[in-house]
Chains A and B, each alone.
Chain A
Amino acid sequence: MLEMNNIEKSFGELEVLKDISIRVDKGEIVSIIGPSGSGKSTLLRCATGLETADSGEIIYEDGASFGLVFQNFNLFPHYSVLQNVMDAPVKVMKKDKAVAKEEALKWLDKMGLKDRADAYPYQLSGGQQQRVAIARALAKDPDILFFDEPTSALDPELTGEVLKVIKSLADLHIAMVIVTHEMAFAKDISDRVIFMDKGVIVDQGTPEEVFGSDNQRTKDFLGRYNNI
Chain B
Amino acid sequence: MSAIVRRLKELKNYPSAIFGLSIIGFLLVLSIYTVIAIPYSQATKLWRGADQIWIENPRFARPVFFDWFTPKKLARTIIVDSKNNPAAKIVERHEKDVEIRIILEFEFPYDEFPTEINLFMNTKLPDSNMYGTFYWETPDGRKISLKRGSIKARDSYEMSQDTALRRRLTGKDAHIGLFSKPSNQDDGAPLKGKYKLIIEALSFKPDDDLDARLVVYGTVHGIAGTDHLRRDLRVALFWGAPIALIFGLLAAVGTAVLTMLIAATGAWYRGVVDGMIQRITEIRMILPTLIILIMIGMFYSRSIWVILGTVILLGVFGSGIKIYRAMFLQVREMPYIEAAQAYGSSGSRIIFRYMAPRIIPMLIPTFVIEVPAFVFLEATLAFLGISDPVIPTWGKILYDAQSRGALYMGQYYWVVIPSTFLIITGLGFSMLGFALDRIFNPRLRRM
Does chain A bind chain B? Answer: no
